[in-house]
């Protein structure tokens, strides 16, 4: 099953799609909200929102995650 996720702390958000792979769960993040909405409308996903405050994840960690995913998705 694939799930779309929005991870938000009210100041910064990541939008992504999770899917099961042979190695476990793989999360692909989209940084263009329009692209993400196209992805959501073209497939069937369950949508969920995660508050970073409830996970006690810092802004710094979120930005590191974003930078990591941008580097991994660069040129794709």
Tens digits of residue pLDDT in 50-71: 444 444 455 555 566 666 666 6
Tens digits of residue pLDDT in 22-58: 776 665 655 555 665 666 565 554 444 444 444 445 5
pTM: 0.27
User: 3-state SS string over 28-72?
Assistant: EEECCHHHHHHHHHHCCCEEEEEEHHHHCCCHHHHHHHHHHHHHH
DSSP assignment letter at 10: S
Dihedral-angle region of residue 23 (phi above 0 means left; psi in -120 to 50 means alpha; beta otherwise): alpha
């Amino acid at each position: 099953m694939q799930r779309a996720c929005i991870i938000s702390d009210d100041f910064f958000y990541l939008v992504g799609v999770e899917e099961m792979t042979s190695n476990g769960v793989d999360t692909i993040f989209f940084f263009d909200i329009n692209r993400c909405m196209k992805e959501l409308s073209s497939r069937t996903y369950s949508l969920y929102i995660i508050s970073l405050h409830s996970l006690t994840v810092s802004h710094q960690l979120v930005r590191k995650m974003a930078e990591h995913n941008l580097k991994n998705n660069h040129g794709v």
